[in-house]
Structure 1
Amino acid sequence: MEAEGRVLGPPLPPPPSGGGSGGGGAEPPACAAGAARAPPPAAEVLEFDDEEDDLEVFSKDASLAEANSFSPSMPTSPSSMINQYKFEDESELRDLFITVDDPESHITAIETFITYRVVTKTSRSEFDSSEYEVRRRYQDFLWLKSKLEEAHPTLIIPPLPEKFIMKGMVERFSEEFIETRRKALHKFLNRIADHPTLTFNEDFKIFLTAQAWELSSHKKQGPGLLSRMGQTVRAVASSVRGGVKNRPEMFTEVNDYMETFSQKINVLDKIAHRIYKEEREYFNEMKEYGPIHTLWSASEEDIADSLKGVASCIDKCCKATEKRMAGLSENLLPIIHEYVLYSEILMGVLKRRDQIQGELDSKVDALANKKAEKDLITEEIGKLEDKVECANNALKADWDRWKQNMQYDMRSAFTNVAENNLRYYEECLATWESFLTSQTAALHVEEDSEDRP
């Protein structure tokens, strides 16, 4: 049973040309995607190797010179590398802050589910209070996503984590699974809050502020059966027509770009999970070596200190490996998988844009074949032309925002992985160098004592 909400405060190949901060004030026009936030500095298009083999994506033939030629002024320090791509502090420009936390398990006679606390703080005048706290379950997030897609069919709605077990997870109600989902839901709401159009959606406001019973009542006011049937018929009719005749070249290029991006990001997702799996296997094996050397030292008095030193080094390297695995699971795997889901969403958005275009094309054909009802069809064509232009403009603006966010997120993810790897190898190298130095010093002392009469 969900807790009621309560008010706390007072009343790849070069694309045709894709992520943003929300702002206060009046709601933007329905046809406009709004102004995007300042993009990351000089972000290039994410491109991947064209090799089909998964491992060939990271070919050994790629030279360091090519990697460094990415930016002539790129700093060599890992810390300064990541700082180069960070956005400037925009907290002063934001007027909507959302936090998803405090997961709770609920057990009923019918089902077991998790709810999450959603805390909203805002200075917008359209909200009755400055702070809200509600509890929401996963199906509430699904409802919000469907309402956003219904209201804005040609905008890029952020993805939700999968309903069931996500890749790499074991149990649905494990702490790891719940925390991973919480982070994804937190990102989902904040991406909507940062979007210049979605942030003003009325269903989004209701989701953030309504008490549990109010939200349930509102969810029942969905589109009627006839409306849903009409949408289904139009979608089927659009698919039967076999494509759009007058699709603008830009959206053909976007479609081609997304097909290639989808293939490559799925390859990266597989490789990232393979790397994590192999790292975990290596970690599990290495954990066994430390105790073995410790036991060995008990039966070898002459080299007992050396064996204990090796066991200590292995233990330190185990801890460093565990830290690196945590970096992969927190900074790389979720980012790549989010864009796997984004690729599916974008393909759906392009299909919906084509559906609107298809409706216009069918009316134009009908006008050419029918002299009667000419005025009525002409009026419908005018409305559809406006609808297509509106859809095109919205998708163009959202495509630019999404592409910028994707480039920044990918750069940050891979730079974080590079930094973690550098720290890992430096830590392990320092551990073994210290051990070898101590062994060399002990050997010299032993030799000196033997040379003395």
Structure 2
Amino acid sequence: MLGDDEDVFDSVTWETPAAPSHDAGISATRGYRQNTSESDEDRGPHDPKWEGYLITSVKDPVKELAETKDAYVSYLVTAKTNLPIYSAPAPSSRRRFQDFVFLRDHLARDFPACVVPPLPDKHRLEYVTGDRFSPEFMERRRLDLHRFLQRLSRHPTLQRSTLLRAFFESTEWHVIMHQHVAHPPGPEASGVIDTISDTLLNAFSRVRKPDERFLSMRESVDKFEEGLSQSERLWTRVRNRTNDLTGDYHDLAVAVQGLGFLESGITDPLNHFSNTLLEFSALLRHTTHTTTDPLLVHLHSLLTYSHANRAVLKLRDQKQMDFEELSDYLSGVTTERDRLAAVINGHAGSTGLGIGAYLKDRVDALRGADDDRSRVEKMRKLDGRIKELQDAVTTAHETSDAFSDEVLREQTVFQHAKETEMKEMLGNLADGQIEFYKASMEEWERIIPIIQRIRVDVQ
């Protein structure tokens, strides 16, 4: 099954760690280093450009204000970088979970065209083995936050953001947060699009002229998420069955040990066999904790990361729909202005009045608002509206095109990140399985000669 797809990640260079580790340092993959081998002429218009590397880590969770009701956990965040935006090559600071939430939310707001990785849920039931201050919970949370910063560090735009730099370097992070809220970079200006009724721009609209490139991307995202979901369901069943087998082998070991007490002639071999069964049960449990559980966590994390990518594609479609709806609205207003001009000039029959325009004229006549003076005033207002709409349509078109170009670059970045994480995840899975089967072979090879020496006299 793997033979047909074995070259999927050939474009990704990586380093194989000496032992499986879910908190290993970042390998020298594309996206962590400068593109020194690529000239500007070699890159396409939608190829991303990395200006340096940023290697991050999250470690040393500590419970702060432990004896108070305001207790929380802080994490040491460190980085190594050659990016010129950083004032030191190895910045570090201590941050709590709410600081990560602020960082993520405001990066998503400041860079709407970027796939900003999601944070783990604040209370994931899969974590909970005690309370939120238990060592197991804090370690799992640390690993998820570590992966979150790794994804930011891979991104050529986000790794150079001033907010991320302050997250690592600032000793007055609370001041930075207040300043960022009060003066966000590049706020979106309100315009005519904000004044148009939701009946025009609604969530149920569809792009009238879809771009084949983005349709292909959406299809690729659908297939990828379907594969991740199926893998998550499959490995969840594998985990449950392995847990059942772990208990069955333990029960079998206890039963064999009891049999050894009854069969005095072969007590020692049966005890060895019982110990082997206990060791194999422990190996299954160890593999679940060190290989299967991290795999499931990574699969779920990668699935939510893909959801963030889908949201960016959806936002791009919305930008295009804004342009299309504004264009239609401008066309309608222009038609109404031309109709009024034709009526004033006495050429109403040549304007191709529809039933809607006819009824509108009748209503105006009943209200006494069908004289030329009111029509001229209405035309003056429509001319101003048309000018405003023309500017809005031009802006929406430029915004849609620029957003589409950025999303094309973003998909390349996400593809690199996805391939890197898939290779890391499958590599850890393979290493864990190899370790399990090697240890299992050693255990069973030791017991086989002992079992073979058993002689039972049948009388």
- Give the alignment's TM-score, normalised by structure 1: 0.71
1:3-58 deviations in whole A, cap 9, x for unaligned? xxxxxxxxxxxxxxxxxxxxxxxxxxxxxxxxxxxxxxxxxxxxxxxxxxxxxxxx
SS of the residue corresponding to residue 303 of structure 1 reads: helix
- Mapped partners of 1:342, 1:222: distance in 2: 28
Name 2:5's counterpart in structure 1.
70
Structure 2 contact 166–173 (Cα < 8 Å) conserved: no
Shift of 1:218: 3.2
Structure 1 contact 286–314 (Cα < 8 Å) conserved: yes
Greater RCO structure (CA 8 Å; 6+ sep)? 1
Structure 1 gaps of 5+ residues are 1-65, 75-79, 448-453
- Mapped partners of 2:211, 2:82: distance in 1: 41
Residues 204/293 of structure 1: CA separation in 2 closer, same or farther (3 Å cut) = same
Residues 122/346 of structure 1: CA separation in 2 closer, same or farther (3 Å cut) = closer
Write the mapping of 1:106-185 to structure 2, written as runs, cut at 5 A: 106=64, 107=66, 110-167=69-126, 169-173=128-132, 174-185=134-145
- Mapped partners of 2:135, 2:320: distance in 1: 46
Residues 1:188 and 2:123 aligned together: no
Paired residue type of 2:152: I
Structure 1 contact 269–336 (Cα < 8 Å) conserved: yes
Name 2:411's counterpart in structure 1.
399
- Mapped partners of 1:307, 1:350: distance in 2: 62
- Mapped partners of 2:197, 2:131: distance in 1: 34
- Mapped partners of 1:322, 1:428: distance in 2: 13
Structure 1 contact 235–355 (Cα < 8 Å) conserved: no
- Give the alignment's TM-score, normalised by structure 2: 0.70
Shift of 1:295: 4.3
Residues 1:327 and 2:290 aligned together: yes
Write the mapping of 1:229-378 to structure 2, written as runs, cut at 5 A: 238-240=201-203, 242-329=205-292, 331-371=294-334, 372-373=383-384, 374-378=386-390
- Mapped partners of 1:82, 1:250: distance in 2: 37
Shift of 1:182: 0.7
SS of the residue corresponding to residue 98 of structure 1 reads: strand
Shift of 1:251: 1.6
Structure 1 contact 118–208 (Cα < 8 Å) conserved: yes
Shift of 1:350: 1.8
Q: 185-194 or 99-108, which moves further after superposition? A: 99-108
Shift of 1:394: 1.3
SS of the residue corresponding to residue 264 of structure 2 reads: coil
- Mapped partners of 2:196, 2:294: distance in 1: 41
Residues 1:421 and 2:433 aligned together: yes
Residues 121/426 of structure 1: CA separation in 2 closer, same or farther (3 Å cut) = closer
- Mapped partners of 1:380, 1:233: distance in 2: 11
Shift of 1:423: 4.0
Name 1:431's counterpart in structure 2.
443
The alignment yields a C-alpha RMSD, in angstroms, of: 3.7
Residues 261/172 of structure 1: CA separation in 2 closer, same or farther (3 Å cut) = farther
Structure 2 gaps of 5+ residues are 10-14, 19-25, 35-51, 335-382
- Mapped partners of 2:197, 2:103: distance in 1: 22
Shift of 1:310: 0.7
Q: 139-148 or 395-404, which moves further after superposition? A: 395-404
SS of the residue corresponding to residue 105 of structure 1 reads: strand
SS of the residue corresponding to residue 244 of structure 1 reads: coil
The percentage of counterpart residues that share the same residue type is 19
1:248-301 deviations in whole A, cap 9, x for unaligned? 122223223323433332232222223223322322343344344334433432
- Mapped partners of 2:146, 2:195: distance in 1: 35
Residues 292/442 of structure 1: CA separation in 2 closer, same or farther (3 Å cut) = closer
SS of the residue corresponding to residue 206 of structure 2 reads: coil
Name 2:44's counterpart in structure 1.
none
- Mapped partners of 1:441, 1:120: distance in 2: 59
SS of the residue corresponding to residue 85 of structure 2 reads: coil
Name 2:39's counterpart in structure 1.
none
Name 1:221's counterpart in structure 2.
182
Structure 2 contact 235–292 (Cα < 8 Å) conserved: no
Structure 2 contact 79–168 (Cα < 8 Å) conserved: yes
Q: 187-196 or 259-268, which moves further after superposition? A: 259-268
Name 1:45's counterpart in structure 2.
none
1:412-440 deviations in whole A, cap 9, x for unaligned? 43354344334433432442233222332
Shift of 1:101: 0.9
- Mapped partners of 2:79, 2:423: distance in 1: 30
Structure 1 contact 276–328 (Cα < 8 Å) conserved: no
Name 1:209's counterpart in structure 2.
169
Paired residue type of 2:313: L
Name 2:61's counterpart in structure 1.
103
- Mapped partners of 2:235, 2:440: distance in 1: 22
Q: Between Structure 1 and Structure 2, how many residues are aligned?
A: 372
1:147-190 deviations in whole A, cap 9, x for unaligned? 11112212111121111124364344232221111111112112
1:114-165 deviations in whole A, cap 9, x for unaligned? 2211123334333333433322111211111111111221211112111112
1:92-113 deviations in whole A, cap 9, x for unaligned? 7554332211112234755443
- Mapped partners of 1:215, 1:333: distance in 2: 36
SS of the residue corresponding to residue 202 of structure 2 reads: helix
SS of the residue corresponding to residue 302 of structure 1 reads: helix
Residues 67/344 of structure 1: CA separation in 2 closer, same or farther (3 Å cut) = closer
Paired residue type of 2:272: G
Residues 227/391 of structure 1: CA separation in 2 closer, same or farther (3 Å cut) = closer
